[in-house]
Structure 1
């Protein structure tokens, strides 16, 4: 009798555990908004370093919640709540709005261009987040994927000038509407082990350069070796994007 009762009850208990796990993933995704709030607080305080660190925390959350959701079958066990929409809301805040505010707040573009540059970032990102064909068959992004958080990070680490930044912002915004290919380091199968290793190296170097560089000193001057490795890792990703965009064979398969 006890054995039969357990046979009936265990599936229900298992389902409750899976439902709880699915909602825990949603809660983990939602925690990204707290990191965003702390980034905004740092931005208001005029601290670009802490703003970037909190944006990095939100990026880590965004990187892990998707695989967790797929593994735990969140859409099956929490079907009434759309985690994709939750993810998009937080991503638009951390990938576009806060970086746009950084461009405005920290003088990353020439005087008088702050509002146009920030507005261009936010409006072009809207197309990206609304684009139903943002991913290719092999999980590359088609068009610039509005990763403006990484763009402002590169501005800060490379200490590029305001006019250079403005040109880059203009070009990347245009690439949102062009089918150039941008690598997703976790989802693209081609060269995945190497890409994941380079991603880990890049992330480690980024954290070191942001956290350890003294104020008023460019990372390239403070840690030239680490900055050189960071640059090489960044060029690896750019190389993948350029190769995938230019590949005629893969281009035909996209169509």
Structure 2
């Protein structure tokens, strides 16, 4: 494992992407920053993080052993690695809000941005950005955000948390390399937020509907049981789960 530590950067994902343009980074190269000025989340959302209070890192993983249509397994193992890290730290009521937000009860404490490198329709590598709220106390206009400190009252050592997380990422990526797709999927779905519970969703046209989360398709689409007893699969741009 190769770890690059930075004081400030626009985005750790962007930093790794810039490196990868020149040459493919070593497998499991990690970039961690004390401050990200342009941290991003899913769908281009800004990731709010107070300087030196949280863990903001990106890692490069060689994933040519996966088919393009299997790329959502990267999201699954990253989410599971974060969950396992937080379980070790005794963070309560953990779940995965599809596709890979990590919640404690209904508070978001971690987000993931995955950018895959695909060449000639073949998966080459994956740049995995992780933001984990650790010691931050205040979140402007983000009532659903929280941190490990706010949840437990403990002031955490960020390096220790990072070390735990990297060990779990190594474990779950090894599991993925062994092609344990069934085990990974079962563990991921068992931790999904509001699985098999009546939930409210918002469609692309802003209309709301009720359904039951039943799991995730092989391609990573959210499978929802609708009122007419039909299971329909939605991608990230088509639907959002209301809390």
TM-score interval (norm. to shorter): under 0.3
> Which is helix-richer, 1 or 2?
1
Query: Normalized against structure 1, the TM-score is what?
Result: 0.26
Query: Normalized against structure 2, the TM-score is what?
Result: 0.27
Q: Which has the larger radius of gyration?
A: 1
